[in-house]
Amino acid sequence: MSLASQQSAISAPDYEAFRRYLQDACGILLGDNKQYLVASRLAQILRENQIDSLAELISRIRQMRYNDLRQAVIDAMTTNETLWFRDTYPFEVLMSQIYPGFKGQNQPVRIWCAACSSGQEPYSISMTTEEYLMRAPGALPGGVQIVGTDISAQMLKLAEQGKYEHLSLARGLSPERKQRFFESVDNGERWQIKANIRRRCSFRPLNLMDAYTPLGRHEIVFCRNVLIYFSADLKAKIIDKIANSLQPRGYLFLGASESMAGLSERFEMIRCNPGIVYRLK
């Protein structure tokens, strides 16, 4: 019987050990009764690797900090839900309130998209940039550089390819933007984001639990819909590290359901109606 169909196959100590492992490895905090979720998400990995129990899996992935099995477990346990122009307001605020403040800047405006999943967020930022520059040609002479990072190797691969199926394009992308910014590829089965939008974006692996210094400093950070999976302590630490990685008076966007309340005093909240953006004090 597969582990997925036998929730009781996960003993309480094994579940506790896996919860601790996942939190140490990537910050994700599993609730008390998520044995079913763990069993269903890991079933294929266990089957393919002929591993009989969660205890054996943990022992194998603990042997090395980076290995394929560990990466597969993290890929399976992360929630990669994303869409184009998610919540709309961050992109409108970027266009109408933030970019005008960088008018004439000869250095690139550097944007970090932490936890970028399959690329919809960084590419939405790049499309917004293109639309801004169509309205204000030459306004950002230094250009815009967007780096997308994620812990999931699988998601980063998709993001780098920038190819999407019809169904995922339908999620948040208007027909006008699809026509303007995508081209049909793979015999019409998928649509690829055009080179002029892609070239502003680069992708690299980064675990938010690790140091951010290799990325350098950014004017703007999007860290959206990932902190919800972490404990309050960890959220506070990550926000502090993001603050250290921002340029003076840099901006931070959180997810629409996420808030800075009780986590950091280093930002001021700017109400944008609709939406909120945080600015380093």
Residue ranges binding ligand SAM (CB under 6 A): 26-28, 78-82, 86, 115-117, 121, 150-152, 155, 207-209, 224-226, 255
With respect to ligand SAM, which residue has the nearer C-beta, 93 or 140?
93
Between 56 and 258, name the residue whose CB sits nearer to ligand SAM. 258
Minimum CB–partner distance for residue 117 and ligand SAM (Å): 3
Query: If you write DSSP's letter for every residue of 247-271 in order, what string do you get?
Result: EEEEEEEE-TT---TTT-SSEEEEE
Quote the least distance from Cβ 114 to ligand SAM, whole Å: 7
Please give the Cα distance from 61 to 84 (Å, whole number): 34
We find the least distance from the C-beta atom of residue 115 to ligand SAM, in angstroms, to be 3
Nearer to ligand SAM, 112 or 140 (CB): 112
Considering beta carbons, is residue 150 or 219 the nearer one to ligand SAM?
150
92 vs 272: CA distance, rounded Å: 10
Judged by beta carbon, residue 139 or residue 209, the one nearer ligand SAM is: 209
To the nearest whole angstrom, how small is the minimum distance from the Cβ of residue 272 to ligand SAM?
17
The minimum distance between CB 27 and ligand SAM, in angstroms, equals 5
Q: What is the DSSP letter of 122?
A: H
Bridge partners (DSSP) listed for residue 145:
110
Strand ranges, E, within the chain = 109-114, 144-150, 163-165, 182-185, 190-193, 201-205, 218-223, 246-254, 267-271, 276-280
